[in-house]
Amino acid sequence: MTHSRHWLRPLTAAGLVLAAFAWLVARPLLDAPSTPDAPSAEDLAEPLGKLNEVFARQWQDNGIESAAAADDLTGLRRISLALVGSVPSIEEIREFENDSSGNRLQRWTSRFIADRRFIEYFGVNLSEAFIDLEGDNQEAHQRLRFIEWIGESIQKGRPYDEMAREIIAGRGVLADEPAATMVAMEFGEGVMAPERLAGRISRALLGQRIDCAQCHDHPFDDWTQGQFEGIAAHFGQVNVRMAMIQDTRRGPFVIDDTRNNLKREVEPAVPFDPEWRPEDGNQRERLATWVTHPENRRFRRAIANRMWGLLVGRPLVHPVDGLPDPPDANEPDALDILGNDFAAHDHDLRRMIHLIVASRPFGLESTHPGLDDAATAQTLQEAHAVFPLSELDAHQLIRSMQQAVSIRTIRPEAEWTYVRLKRYESRFQFVRDYGEQSDDSENEASTVPQAAERLTGYKVRNLTRPGVTNAPGRIGAMAAADKGVEEAFLACLTRRPAAEEAAFFLDQPGRNTNQRSRTVEDVYWTLFNSAEFCWNH
Amino acid sequence: MKLPNFSSIKFPRRPMERRDLLRWAAGLGMSFTLPGLTTRAAERRGTERPRSLLTIWLSGGPSQLETWDPHPGSLIGGPTRAIDTSIKGVQIAEGFPLLAGQLHHLSVIRSLTSREGDHDRATYTVKTGFRPDPTVTHPGIGAIVAHAQPSTELELPPVVSLGQENSPWKGGFLGGSFNALQVREPGQAGENVRDWIEEPRQQRRLDGLDLVGKRFLQGRGAVVNRTQHEHSIEAAIRMMTSEQVKAFEIDEEPEEIRAAYGDSNFGRGLLVARRLIEEGVRSVEVTLQNFDTHDDNFTRHQNHATVLDPAFAALLKDLAARDLLASTAVLCLGEFGRTPRINGAEGRDHWPHGFSCLVGGAGLKGGQLIGATDPAGEREKPEDPIGVDDLYATVLTALAIDPAHQVQTPIGRPIKYSNGKPIGRLLG
């Protein structure tokens, strides 16, 4: 019997190979991206007016003049880098330039938020506040689920306070509850999970670094060790078994005091306004309600500061999780204005993004006559009177390089599976070797290993090498060399070359396609290594 | 503000003549008769030399029982046998006969302890000497050494990581300039430390970079200067065109030396490490990976030993012969040890409670034995426990660096190089 079926085997094998091949080359058919509606200018007018007034007053008080307004292409580059993690494609630049609507920057902001790349890039950046993105590979799937959940929740306009409550108090089987990943991952790491969670929650959701109070009272602020432990005690009932998160542990929460190696029982408590914490619900739910209480200004100020940092490259208050006590409610600062508008509009993060993009500081040039002098430069930057320079992180850099050498907009959902996997692989390798950015962004500066990687590393070399299908190859094959240089500049720097730049790059031997391709490769190499490419401006 | 002018960087012709000469001399076993590759650090020997740190990183968590703390014949010992070493009364696992003959250069610590049993957290702890803290990123010990003793003569990065390391030393709050330059396949082509484009074309690329850079500078002078962008490019080019970059290559090494270190990525890494240290690089780590032996612990450790033993022994001999050991602290460890209990898959699991390391050089006493673990595997706590921070305080002291020196983090928080106490028995 079995013998007679032998002929089936090669056929099955061939079928499997064919199926695998079909899967690899499968490319979904998709419509061109649509541009969803953006909030209208009138809709944003009131909070925007207040926000801009705060900055205008700050400039006036300091006797400084802000930088000029940046052009729209620069604005497009900024929102593209912040929201989808790469410079805009030539395709997008052309379309943007042909968009004659009055509020095209707002429309494109909406479009980028709705983009699949928004989840892959912005989702990752916001997730970093809650979970460690590096580490044990066994948790890779959990991390991805969490990132998708964050990204998609923003895209759908889910209220952020609701999201925060789920992150703190989510229960159930992890596969169905990506929000519970933060709690599950900390418990997965073993001892002291409640303490680490107390630190995470105060940093991510309250903008306060009270972790230092884990071992001693906070040196600068009013946080005490007791307050820290009170937050941690809300996680004393958590039980994680077989990917199931529940609150079934009995008995008091016991803390191991590292100062004197004594064990102490600790009651759940909150550091301020205990009346916001309801009597009913389990401990985590009570904490979640307290953190997101409508009167808790720290909660919304924290996310406003974080969002400002993700969009502008520098948070309004640095470090992003070291906020001072809120000012008098009658004298709202920029964080209050952003936070209050946010709370009044269903905690919709999309709206907050729009408000920040529409604000005066976001639209300013990154050049200013005062920036040639170090002291003046500092004053201007601290008053948000110029758009700050910030270094592209490794993800932005490799995504931008990949985009710049691609003819079409890279849309993960529209690519052949094989191409997409290869692209992810080379991104992974680049990020691994180029290095994640340090958390201490005060120290932000290019390093020699990174420069060497860009100047001579094979990953960059492979990208700039002209090929049949990539932009350097196609541009090199174009007969009009001046058009080619322009395309390369647009693709990398989102601007056209100045006359002297065009003259320099055109003055190269280029009698045949081969030589022209080398010239284009050199242009790409040069632009990839320029500060203008490597820094957001 | 002043920017480096890339147009003025002249690319030296490839020094072929010199290279051929060296190869010829090496063939005759005469390489020592030639002047050093540079007139700088490499020429100085013994204690006059600036001090360096060389860490051999066994990533994944090596088993103390299959390396420097065997317990043959006990319930926990497994099949691993022990051999005598050049330190009287100290035995190590049988897979290290060559190292056993050189062990007197080093001391053995069998009671390292940490509180971290998860790979990432433990790696952070053992690489920095501090437990993970979400509010600050501590620098790796290699970065600390480079920060404490900056070199003005060096055209190479001061911190280098060789091999397939997933967590190379970082600068942390000391800044990205102390991040390790990583070379994953040392002694091969040196792909990220060499330039590949012929000179006239490279020169033209740099001229273009100059032009685009100057335009970006307009109206941004002070802030662009702070980015260090142009300066790191200049330093990278200086590195790539420097004579010193040859320290990354090993083809000039005599055949017998290369053979002694072994034909492995790790062996080549250790040989490159010696060359880098000779050149004045402050901190080098060389990684041998895959020690996470939850299964098949004994065979896998034997296999690792065939790579580690010859290379490590050759390194110690080489350093001693070149009078570099007196100025180079040598450290061999991983993020934790492995359980005394042997699991069902002939493996051992994570064990941060009493694990082993080897340490010596830079004037540290050799031939010492510190700590002991329970041969029955019942007591978790070893005798004479030594914290990772104590180990680093000791190494820093040996390198003439004050471990209690405080550095301000960017937000003004003062943090010491190390919170540990130097181990008196290891200091002269």
Is residue A386 included in any domain, yes or no? no
Chain B residue with minimal CA distance to A369?
A: B219
Whether residue A484 is predicted with pLDDT greater than 70 in this model: the reply is yes
CB within 8 A of A328, min separation 6: which ones? none
What token pair was written down for A534? 């490597």
Q: Say if residue A352 is exposed, middle or buried (CB neighbours under 10 Å; 0-12, 13-18, 19+).
A: buried
B142 and B236 both lie in a single domain: no
| Predicted local distance difference test score (pLDDT) of residue A94 | 95
Which residue among A212, A365, A498 sits closest to B135, beta carbon to beta carbon? Answer: A212
Closest among B65, B100, B94 to B82, alpha carbons compared = B94
> Who's near B268: CB < 8 A, 6+ residues apart?
B185, B186, B187, B188, B250, B258, B261
Q: Which of B3, B38, B1, B286 is nearest to B151 (CA)?
A: B38
Mark whether B167 and B39 lie in a shared domain: yes
CB A302 within 8 A of CB A351: no
Q: Is the pLDDT of residue A61 over 70?
A: yes
A503 lies within 8 A of chain B by CB: no
Name the token pair of A448: 């020699």
Contact (CB<8Å) A456/B182: no
DSSP state of A324: P
Closest CA to B165 of B306, B59, B55, B271: B59
In a domain, A173, yes or no: yes
Chains A and B form CB pairs within 8 A to the count of: 199
* pLDDT in the model for residue B144: 97
| Structural domain for A494, as ranges | 394-536
Q: Angle A499-506/A481-493 helices, nearest 10 degrees?
A: 120
Give the residue on A whose Cα is nearest the Cα of B213.
A530
Interface residue of A228, A447, A525, A533 to substitute, partner B, most B CBs within 10 Å: A447
Lowest mean pLDDT, pick from A161-170, A237-246, B13-22, B324-333: B13-22
CA angle A243, A246, A250 (to 5 degrees): 130
pLDDT tens digits, one per residue of A286-305: 999 999 999 999 999 999 99
pLDDT band at A40 (very low <50, low <70, confident <90, very high): confident
Tell me if A527 is assigned to some domain. Answer: yes
Q: Is residue A117 within 8 Å of residue A412, measured between CB atoms?
A: yes
Could you list the residue range(s) of the whole structural domain that residue B209 is in? 9-30+199-242
* Domain identity same for A282 and A408: no
CB contact under 8 A, A444 and B117: no
R_g of chain B computed on alpha carbons? 23
Are B219 and A442 in contact (CB < 8 Å)? no
Q: Please report where in the chains the tokens 């410079």 appear, as a residue.
A: A87
In three-state secondary structure terms, A261 is coil
Domain stop point among A270, A291, A312: A291
* Gap between the Cα atoms of B29 and B20, Å rounded: 14
Residue A487, domain member (yes or no): yes
For chain A, the average pLDDT equals: 88
Give the residues across from B285 on adjacent strands: B55, B161
The closest alpha carbon to A365, from A335, A387, A345, belongs to A387
Q: Do B231 and B309 belong to one domain?
A: no
> 3-state DSSP call for residue B300?
helix
Q: Are residues B332 and B376 in the same domain?
A: yes
Q: In this structure, is the dihedral angle defined by the CA atoms of residues A303, A304, A310 and A311, taken in order, positive or negative?
A: positive
pLDDT (0 to 100) of residue A220? 46
Total domain count, chain B: 2
For A133, nearest residue in chain B (alpha carbons): B120
Whether B410 sits inside 8 A of A529 (CB atoms) is no
The first and second tokens of residue B411, run together, are 């937000």
Structure tokens at A503: 């003259």
Closest by CA to B220, choosing from A385, A374, A143, A319, is A374
User: Six-digit token pair at B240?
Assistant: 């790539």
Q: How far apart are CA B298 and CA A207, in angstroms?
A: 49
Categorize the per-residue pLDDT at A240 as very low, low, confident or very high, splitting at 50, 70 and 90: confident
CB contact, 8 Å: B194 with chain A? Answer: yes
Tokens of B180: 């390790």
A96 vs A361: CA distance, rounded Å = 22
Q: Are residues B347 and B235 in the same domain?
A: no
Whole-number pLDDT of residue A446: 74
Q: Nearest 5°: phi and psi at B256?
A: -70, -30
DSSP letters spanning B360-381: EETTPPPS-EE-B--TTS--SS
Whether the CB-CB separation of A405 and A464 falls below 8 Å is answered with yes
Q: Considering CB atoms only, which of A447, A518, A522 is closest to B208?
A: A522
pLDDT band at A150; cut points 50, 70, 90: very high
Residues of chain A contacting B119 with CB distance shorter than 8 Å:
135-136
- How many domains are contained in chain A? 2
Element (H, E) at A518: helix A513-528
Residue B1 counted as domain residue: no
User: Quick one: how many helices (H) and strands (E) in chain A?
Assistant: 26, 7
DSSP structure string for B4-40: --GGGPPPPPP-HHHHHHHHHHHHTT-GGGSPPSSSS
Query: Within a domain: residue A340?
Result: no
A183 belongs to a structural domain: yes
Q: What 3-state class would DSSP assign to A259?
A: coil
Give 3-state DSSP helix, strand, coil % of chain B, rounded to 5.
Answer: 40, 15, 45
Please indicate whether, in this complex, the C-beta atoms of A501 and B409 are within 8 angstroms of each other: no
Considering the domain architecture, whether residues B149 and B172 belong to the same structural domain is answered as yes
Q: B24 and B37: one domain?
A: no
> B108 and B159: one domain?
yes
Kindly tell me if the per-residue pLDDT of A331 is higher than 70: yes
Residue partners of B394: CB distance under 8 A and separation at least 6: B359, B364, B420, B422, B423, B426, B427
Q: pLDDT tens digits, residue range A426-469? A: 888 888 888 765 555 445 667 888 888 888 777 888 888 888 88
Is the CB of A453 less than 8 angstroms away from the CB of B209? Answer: no
Q: Are residues B221 and B155 in the same domain?
A: no
Rounded Cα–Cα distance for residues A383 and A191 (Å): 43
Question: How many Å lie between the alpha carbon of B308 and the closest alpha carbon of chain A?
Answer: 25
| B155-196 residue pLDDT tens | 899 999 999 998 999 999 998 889 899 898 998 765 667 666
Residue in chain B closest to A131 (alpha carbons) equals: B134
User: Distance between CA atoms of B406 and A203, rounded to whole angstroms?
Assistant: 26
Taking alpha carbons only, the member of B124, B161, B138 closest to residue A439 is: B138
Q: Is B218 close to A189, i.e. CB distance below 8 A?
A: no
CA distances from A259 to A215, A216, B116 (A): 7, 8, 18
Distance CA A385, CA B165 (A): 43
Q: B-contacting residues of A 387-416, CB under 8 Å?
A: 388-389, 391
Chain A contacts of B240, Cβ < 8 Å?
452, 455-456
Does B4 fall in a domain?
no
pLDDT at A503 over 50: yes
Name chain B contacts of A196, Cβ cutoff 8 Å.
134
B210 and B298, same domain (yes or no): no
Q: Do B192 and A435 touch (CB under 8 A)?
A: no
Highest-confidence segment of A333-342, A457-466, A508-517? A333-342
Q: Whole-angstrom distance between the N-terminal and C-terminal Cα of chain B?
A: 48
What's B57's domain CATH number?
Answer: 3.40.720
Q: How many CB atoms lie within 10 A of CB B397?
A: 24
Query: Does a structural domain hold residue A464?
Result: yes
Record: contact A451-B233, CB cut-off 8 A: yes
Q: What is the 3-state secondary structure (H, E, C) of A362-399?
A: HHECCCCHHHHCHHHHHHHHHCCCCCCCEECCHHHHHH
Residue B2 counted as domain residue: no
Going by their DSSP bridges, the two strands B159-162 and B181-183 should be labelled as: parallel
A452 in a domain, yes or no?
yes
Pairwise CB contact (< 8 Å): B229 & A522: no
Identify whether residues B114 and B183 lie together within a single domain.
yes
In a domain, B3, yes or no: no
Q: Does A60 touch chain B (CB under 8 A)?
A: no
**Is A452 within 8 Å of B212 when comparing Cβ atoms?**
no
Mutation target for A interface from B183, B212, B413: give the one with most A CBs within 10 A.
B212
Q: Can you spell out the DSSP letters for A150-218?
A: HHHHHHTT--HHHHHHHHHH--EEGGG-GGGHHHHHHHHT-TTHHHHHHHHHHHHHH----GGGGTS--
- Shortest distance, CA B403 to any CA of chain A (angstroms): 22
Is B312 within a domain?
A: yes
- Taking an 8 Å cut-off on Cβ atoms, the answer to whether B221 and A372 are in contact is yes
CA proximity to A201, closest of A173, A233, A178, A244? A233
> Is residue B13 located within the same domain as residue B71?
no
Give the Cα separation of A199 and A228 in Å (integer). 8
Instruction: Give B200-254 as a 3 state SS string.
Output: HHHHHHHHHHHHHHHHHHCCCHHHHHHHCHHHHHHHHHHHHHCHHHHHHCCCCCC
* CA separation for the pair A264, A253 (Å, rounded): 8
Q: How far apart are the first and last CA of chain A?
A: 73
Decide if A367 touches B, using CB distance below 8 A. Answer: yes
Low-confidence ranges of chain B (pLDDT < 50): 1-4, 6-40
pLDDT at A3: 55
Which of B225, B242, B259 represents a domain boundary (last residue)? B242
Per-residue pLDDT tens for A195-234?
889 999 999 999 988 766 655 555 445 677 888 899 999 9
- In angstroms, rounded to a whole number, what is the distance separating the alpha carbons of residues A267 and B315? 57
Say yes or no: B198 contacts chain A, CB-CB below 8 A.
Answer: no
DSSP classification of residue A276: G
Tokens of A234: 């809300």
- What's the pLDDT score for residue A214? 59
In this complex, the residue of B177, B213, B226 whose CB is nearest that of residue A530 is: B213
Of the candidates A136, A433, A446, which has its C-beta nearest B229's C-beta?
A: A446
Chain A residues inside the 8 Å CB shell of B196: 456, 461
Rg (CA), chain A: 26
Q: Is residue B93 within 8 Å of residue B68, measured between CB atoms?
A: yes
Q: Which of A75-89, A162-176, A232-246 has the highest mean pLDDT?
A: A75-89
**B407 has a chain A CB within 8 A of its CB:** no
Q: Is A15 on the interface with B (CB under 8 A)?
A: no
Answer whether B176 sits within 8 Å of A527, measured CB to CB. no
Alpha helix (H) ranges present in A383-480? 394-404, 417-434, 448-456, 458-464, 471-477
Which chain B residues are closer than 8 Å to A527 by Cβ?
212
